[in-house]
Amino acid sequence: MSTAIPTRPAGAAKPQAVVKDGSMLKQKEMISGNYARLESAVTDGRKVVSTFVPGNLNELIMCFDVLNNLPEINAIQNGMRKKSGGYIMEAEKRGHSEDVCTYVKADLGMIEKGNLGPDGQKLPDPNLLLLSYTGCFTFMKWFELLRDRYNCETAMLHVPYQGDGQITQSMISYVVKQLREEVIPKMERVSGVKFDIDRLRENLARSARAEEDFVWVLNSAKSKPSPIDAYFGGVYYIGPIFTAFRGTEDAVEYYQLLRAEIAERLANGQGPVTPNGDMGPERYRLVVEGPPNWTSFRDFWKMLYDDGAVVVASTYTKVGGIYDQGFRHDPAKPLESLAEYCLGCYTNRNMPSRIDLIERYMNEFEADGFLINSIKSCNSFSAGQLLMLREIERRTGKPAAFIESDLVDPRYFSPANIKNRLESYFQMIEQRRAGHVPARAA
């Protein structure tokens, strides 16, 4: 099922083969297909909605035959293609503070520079800004800034925060009412398509099927060795389900493919695939909190797999929904189910719940340590992580490490610094594992 795709032209110093599985190829097709549809939206006469990943309403959006454009994903793509740095500077030049979120600035900078998508084609102006205000305050300002730029219709979906660590009936009914009275009417108006709840039910049923396979993949990391990296690899696995594909037949197929591939690795006792091929022996099992850095994504990953560190569970792969704790989209109660989905996203949970979840991961995935990648841009994740670090150490007795970087600001990734800390950390785990060799004092 594996296909080798050379990443460098023949004759490069050391031809390196990146192993791409069928699922990866499938996802690649899906993503480029979506970008192609976006780029030809104007000619095709299709309407476009811009929305965010956490708490996104893809199943609902599909009911109106409109395309889904995700500014966060554009920022990530630009980060990985090393374009974000210039975009951020452009936004700062235009009066945005150096203190604030670089997703926002990368997005605004991209728009100022012609709004070219990752493959160099112009992205369409949205017809509707669907502001799913879930788990991140900055989203609200981001969309106000976009509205300022596009002068288009904006629908606000305010998802209350789980301040006391639970979803109340009042919260669900608030979200459902907003869907009924604010979001759906605006979608109907913009698209000219009448809302059909049965269509939504079908989409939700497909979501649930994909979610089932996705959860199976996440849980495969409980095996030793883990057949997946649940953070660096996980970022790819969440792609379809967190973005414009949840609820599609494509996503269902993708997760079937992925599950089969991982099952095969599991049966063969193989570890994760990395950009350099199969990972070496598993030496450290980590739980990771916080989003990755995108501008040096591969360098960062390499710092871990070179030392035999594999991430067995991560919180970032829960920002677009926490499926492994039982939630599934439910066609039987479509709008309520969407509300519960939004309310349940990782950064919409309070600090105690987040810490509890991590503690559970530490235990259930038998992790050796806990690593926080603290992101400058993202206060929603980052504010409080140092308390989280203490709590996890206290509760599990496992050592925790703390590094800092940013989402898409290349100025904020210091490889020497991060490598130094990671090395120290792994050696510390190693020493502690080796048992307490008495020094002279003893």
Partner 1 sequence: MSHVAAIVARCQALFEDLNFTAAREWKEAAPGRIVVGFMPFYVPRELIHAAGGLALGVLGGGDQLEVIQGDAYYQSYICRIPRSTIELGVTSRLDFVDAMLFPSICDVIRNLSGMWKIMFPKVKSRYVDVPQNFSDAVGGSFYVSELGELRDILARLAGREITDDALRNSIAVYNENRALVREVYAFRARFPWKAPSAEVYLLMRAGMVLPVEEHSAMLRDYLDATAREERPRRDNSRVVVTGAFCEQPPLSLIKSIELAGCYIVDDDFMLVNRWEKSDVAADGDPLAALSHAYLHDSLETAAKYQPDQSKKGQWLIEAVQRSGAEGVIFASASFCDPALLERPMLQRALAARGIPYIAFKFAENSGQMQPIREQAGTFADSIKLWSAA
Partner 2 sequence: MKSFIGIDLGSTTTKAVVLDENQDVLGRGITNSRANYDTACKVAKYEALLGARFTLLARALQGIANQDEFLSALERGFRLDLFLDHVDDLEATCREKASGERFKGHEDGVATALGNIFAALRADADELFAPGARRKSDFFRDLAGARFMAVGEAAANAAGVSYDLLLNVYDKAIIEVENRPPQGEIADRLSRALGRLGELPESLAIPVRSALDIEMEETSVVGTGYGRVTLPFAKENIRSEILCHGLGAHMMYPGTSTVLDIGGQDTKAIQVDPTGIVENFQMNDRCAAGCGRYLGYIADEMNIGLHELGPLAMQATRTVRINSTCTVFAGAELRDRLALGEKREDIIAGLHRAIILRAMSILSRSGGVRDQFTFTGGVAKNEAAVKELRLLIRENYGEVTININPDSIYTGALGAACFAHRAAIH
Contact between 288 and 373 (Cβ < 8 Å):
yes
Identify what 440 binds: partner 2, partner 1, none; CB under 5 to 8 Å per kind: partner 2
Q: How many CA atoms lie within 13 A of 415 on its CB side?
A: 11
Q: Any idea what DSSP says for residue 180?
A: I
Asked if 196 interacts with partner 2 (CB under 8 A), we say: no
Q: Which is nearer to partner 2, 180 or 433 (CB)?
A: 433
Give the Cα separation of 77 and 35 in Å (integer).
11
Among the listed ranges 176-184, 210-218, 221-229, 284-292, the one in contact with partner 1 (CB under 8 A) is 176-184
Asked if 424 interacts with partner 2 (CB under 8 A), we say: yes
Pairing of strands 369-375, 309-314: unpaired
Instruction: Identify which of 61, 69, 22, 51 has the alpha carbon closest to the alpha carbon of residue 255.
Output: 22
CB of 379 to partner 1, least distance (A): 4
User: Applying CB under 8 A, which of residues 65, 164, 196, 423 lies at the interface with partner 1?
Assistant: 164
Identify what 399 binds: partner 1, partner 2, none; CB under 5 to 8 Å per kind: partner 2
The residues near 442 (Cβ < 8 Å, ≥ 6 apart) are none
Give the Cα separation of 329 and 346 in Å (integer).
16
Q: Sheet containing 153-158: which strands, arranged edge to edge?
A: 67-69, 48-51, 128-133, 153-158
Radius of gyration of the chain (CA): 22
CB of 6 to partner 1, least distance (A): 40
Instruction: Identify which of 56, 279, 302, 260 has the alpha carbon closest to the alpha carbon of residue 157.
Output: 56
Among the listed ranges 5-13, 70-78, 231-239, 414-422, the one in contact with partner 2 (CB under 8 A) is 414-422
CB of 100 to partner 1, least distance (A): 5
Instruction: Name residue 310's beta-bridge partners.
Output: 285
Among the listed ranges 56-64, 151-159, 195-203, 286-294, the one in contact with partner 1 (CB under 8 A) is 151-159
Asked if 94 interacts with partner 1 (CB under 8 A), we say: yes
Contact between 154 and 131 (Cβ < 8 Å):
yes
Asked if 414 interacts with partner 2 (CB under 8 A), we say: yes
User: Applying CB under 8 A, which of residues 404, 407, 408, 409 lies at the interface with partner 2?
Assistant: 404
Asked if 12 interacts with partner 2 (CB under 8 A), we say: no
Residues that bind partner 1 (CB under 8 A): 94-97, 99-101, 104, 133, 136-138, 140-142, 144-145, 147-148, 151, 154, 156, 158, 160-161, 163-165, 168, 170-171, 173-174, 177-178, 181-182, 350-355, 374, 376, 379-380, 382-387, 391, 404
